[in-house]
Amino acid sequence: MEHLPTELIGNIISRLGPARDVVIASTTCKQWRHAFCSHLPTLSFSSNDWPSDHGTSQLEILVSRTLLQTTGLQGLSISMDEIGEFSASVVISWLTGVDPNYQGFSCLKSLSLKYVSISALDLSLLLTACPKIEILDLVNLEIAMSDTQHKVELRSPTLKSICVEQISLDEFILEADSLERLHLKDCQLKLIKLVGKGTLKQLVIDYVTSNAVTSTHLDIGDNLLENLEVVDIYEFTIIWPQFYKMISRSSKLRRLRLWDVFFDDKNEIVDLETFSVCFPQLSHLSLWYVYLRDGVHYALPGSSHLENVIEMELGWTTINELFPDWVEGLVKRCPNLRKLVIHGQDMDSEETEECMRLTSLIKHLINDKYEHVEV
């Protein structure tokens, strides 16, 4: 081991996983200690990795002291779901209080905070202290606000991917000129605002609701979505004219998923004609079967084909006699389709029997008329 480069030793001990094991390994010898302090690439703190008799304040001090000893971290994860309220703000205060010139986050590229509390101001300052940050995961944070503050504002010129999960806020504002992936999951947000320079490639909104009577307002400039390749929307209320206006310039879109979405105006109809004109490179399409209005099949108005769609997923909440016609109408408009997947819902025995009859009908229909499609 003494012949290995110190950088390699740092990489090896970081792969032990829990920070507790990494710290213990660093006491092996001077070379390993040096590797820990100067060449440790990643560090992961979890409440499961420490003795149960360690209280919250003890863990806050342990995390702080450990971070003070490392200078080159590129990845940091803190997950404290098994203890009381762990304060990341206390850790930040402790670090800067001991060392006002603390530069421990200067090399950080990946940061994950889960099940911790932090003030909105400290979260913003923490991101500013990471000049090379590229990946940010924020899960189930308890975000403290001042009396005059109702929003979280984050800014980073280097951030490429952010995932925000299980967070409740009035306003979430993100300014990120290099952002490529935005994922919002299980959140309560009144306003989502993105400011950038058109680098976004993936937009994923998974069960996001407003904590008000109105639907969540999505504020993303039209010019920011020109390079969008993936749009995945699940259980989210869409104001379709506004949403369509945003994504209509996304000519590079390859995957579109509108799954179990709700429309702010129940008279709105999403149609394949729109998809054909705006998304010529679309190859994967996922749609949810919703109500029919005035006898018009949802998503079927127009006659244009989606030439590049090779895989399609269709789902439903309430199945009826019109569902097979809707499925065939979609398949007919995708001449190069290779795979069709149909998802259902839990149901009682009577619904199960009807579902089996209709899905069997669909399978025979597709197999007889579209032999090239795998159902």
Query: For residue 213, what pLDDT band results from cuts at 50, 70 and 90?
Result: low
Q: Which residue has the higher pLDDT, 331 or 350?
A: 331
Which ranges constitute the DSSP H helices of the chain?
6-14, 19-25, 30-38, 56-69, 88-98, 120-128, 240-247, 272-278, 323-332, 349-369
Q: Is 140 left (phi over 0), alpha (psi -120 to 50) or beta?
A: left
Q: Which residue has the higher pLDDT, 359 or 107?
A: 107
Q: How many CB atoms lie within 10 A of CB 239?
A: 17
What is the DSSP-derived secondary structure letter of residue 131?
T
Residue 120: which of 84, 158, 148 has the closest Cα? 148
In the prediction, which pLDDT does 367 show?
A: 85
In the prediction, which pLDDT does 38 show?
A: 92
* Region 271-282 average pLDDT: 87
Residue 218: which of 235, 193, 201 has the closest Cα? 193
In the prediction, which pLDDT does 24 show?
A: 93
Enumerate helices (H) and strands (E) in the chain, giving the number of each.
10, 19
The answer to whether the beta carbons of residues 158 and 139 sit under 8 Å apart is no
The predicted-structure confidence for 84-104, as pLDDT tens digits, reads as follows 789 999 999 999 888 888 888
The predicted-structure confidence for 310-323, as pLDDT tens digits, reads as follows 999 998 877 777 78
In the prediction, which pLDDT does 47 show?
A: 86
Q: How many CB atoms lie within 10 A of CB 346?
A: 6
| pTM (2 d.p.) | 0.90
Query: For residue 308, what pLDDT band results from cuts at 50, 70 and 90?
Result: very high
Q: Answer yes or no: is pLDDT of 277 > 90.
A: no
Give the Cα separation of 366 and 354 in Å (integer): 18
In the prediction, which pLDDT does 77 show?
A: 96
Enter the tokens of residue 61: 């001090």
Give the Cα separation of 250 and 228 in Å (integer): 6
Q: Answer yes or no: is pLDDT of 289 > 90.
A: no
The predicted-structure confidence for 11-47, as pLDDT tens digits, reads as follows 999 999 899 999 999 999 999 999 999 999 999 999 8
Enter the tokens of residue 310: 């090779």
